Amino acid sequence: MRLYSRCVKAQLQAGRFAERVVEGRDDAGRDERVLIWIERRPGAVWAVGRIVNPQHRETGDARSDDYVWEGHELDDCLQVANATLEDDVVVSEDDGSGLRVRAFRREELLQPLERYFFGR
């Protein structure tokens, strides 16, 4: 059973602006799901998070060690998020997955940000 579609239409948690899911296999050959997301935190801070097998957690809340980056620059955030995503996609491809996951885009982050600030 898949909790997320391959295109990741999962309902975003508060503060999360974009998510991607990479499905593959772990070292033992079992199904593995990696969730990577970008969120906006208080103080105009962007953050990139990564969780392996979020479906096995009791809550959807991220732990402090789930974050791979925090900072104020959107371009840096996108660079880190897409590098993290690419690393997991490459591993998934090496395991035989034909999964296509689209990169994070600036526009998908700016749209919810503009709605929040300007109500558009």
Q: Residue 14: its pLDDT value, please? A: 59
Residue with tokens 């909790």: 3
Q: How far is 89 from 115, CA to CA, in rounded Å? A: 31
Output the pLDDT for position 120: 58
Handedness of CA 82, 85, 91, 97 (dihedral sign): negative
102 exposure class (CB count in 10 Å sphere: 0-12, 13-18, 19+): exposed
29: which 2 tokens? 């050959």
3 part of a folded domain = no
pLDDT at 7: 42
pLDDT value, residue 4:
38
Query: Residue 112 sits in which domain range?
Result: 16-118
- 6 domain-assigned: no
11 located within any domain: no
Q: How confident is the model at residue 90 (pLDDT cuts 50, 70, 90)?
A: very high
The reply to whether 45 falls in a domain is yes
19-57 burial, b for 16+ CB within 10 Å, e for fewer?
bbbbbbeeeeeeebbbbbbbbbeeeeebbbbbbeebeee
In a domain, residue 79? The reply is yes
pLDDT, residue 13, reads 56
Asked if residue 109 belongs to a domain, the reply is yes
Q: Is residue 2 part of a domain?
A: no
Residue 57 vs residue 96, higher pLDDT = 57
Domain count, the chain: 1
